[in-house]
Structure 1
Amino acid sequence: MTTAPGQAPVAPPVPRHPLDPDPVRSTKARAVFALGLMAVLTGLFVGGVVPATLALHLSRQARREAYASGGFLTGAAWLRRGERLAWAGLVLVAVSVVAAVVIGVVRLAEAPYGQDFAPHMD
């Protein structure tokens, strides 16, 4: 059955089996998003490593569970957003660590080397 000559055929909806569960959002997807948000917010203070790694680990588990559920677990958009936020948090941590190392090296290079004697001493 088609609706117009240029459109794709419309398939009738497939009836659901009465014992099929209702599609629900994965609770892990919400947790991944929250942990990713915390990773971004605390990323510059190096505290973002912990929530970011937890978010990435939890997102892997949530993806496996969603695949095994056969489409009855939703929340893939929340998972994607949470993963992106977690990776952004890790990038912020890396930037802050690199900046701290560069500042430390520059300050170490500016410090006097060895003992500093008075100008009239040999």
Structure 2
Amino acid sequence: MTTAPGQVSVGHQPPRHPLDPEPVRSTKARAVFALGLIGLLTGPFVGGVVPATVALALARQARREAYASGGFLTGAAWLRRGERLAWAGLVLVAVSVVAAVIFGVVHLAEAPTGHDFAPNMD
């Protein structure tokens, strides 16, 4: 097959076998993206750790299945986006926890310790 008269021929691709499945988007890739988005949105409230962790575990399975399918499972872009969102959600969870600990320590340090006795008490 040539692209135009006088040009070099394009590499010949062998025809697909009739029993080969059609390439389809992985449903796990969509789930990873959705869970990553939920993890990002709920990350500052510390609730994002669960969906983000599930998204990362599911992403690992989806990558394994996509590799084993030999190219018939697509959705790598959705998978990458979902993983990035999940990691961002986990970072937000970590920032929220660190901020809460710092706030708690500062609040505890400002609180008076022991009993506040009257000035005429020994």
So what's the TM-score if we normalise by structure 2? Answer: 0.91
After TM superposition, the structure 1 = structure 2 runs for residues 1-122 of structure 1, keeping only pairs within 5 Å, are 10-122=10-122
Given the superposition, is the C-alpha separation of residues 39 and 8 from structure 1 closer, same or farther in structure 2, using an over 3 Å criterion?
farther
**In structure 2, what is the Cα distance between the partners aligned to 1:61 and 1:72?**
15
After superposition, what is the alpha-carbon deviation per residue over 1:79-110, rounded to whole angstroms, capped at 9, x for unaligned? 00000000000000000000000000000100
Q: CA deviation at 1:10?
A: 2.5
Q: CA deviation at 1:2?
A: 7.7
Given the superposition, is the C-alpha separation of residues 121 and 8 from structure 1 closer, same or farther in structure 2, using an over 3 Å criterion?
farther
Q: CA RMSD in A?
A: 1.9
**In structure 1, what is the Cα distance between the partners aligned to 2:37 and 2:107?**
33
**In structure 2, what is the Cα distance between the partners aligned to 1:22 and 1:57?**
26
Q: CA deviation at 1:8?
A: 8.4
Matching residue's letter, 1:71: G
Given the superposition, is the C-alpha separation of residues 110 and 11 from structure 1 closer, same or farther in structure 2, using an over 3 Å criterion?
same
So what's the TM-score if we normalise by structure 1? Answer: 0.91
Aligned residues: 120
**In structure 2, what is the Cα distance between the partners aligned to 1:8 and 1:113?**
86
Q: CA deviation at 1:116?
A: 0.8
Matching residue's letter, 1:88: A
**In structure 2, what is the Cα distance between the partners aligned to 1:121 and 1:91?**
51
Q: Which consecutive unaligned segments of at least 5 residues does structure 1 have?
A: none
Q: Which consecutive unaligned segments of at least 5 residues does structure 2 have?
A: none
**In structure 2, what is the Cα distance between the partners aligned to 1:57 and 1:13?**
36
Q: CA deviation at 1:15?
A: 1.1
Q: Percent identity?
A: 83
**In structure 2, what is the Cα distance between the partners aligned to 1:119 and 1:41?**
53
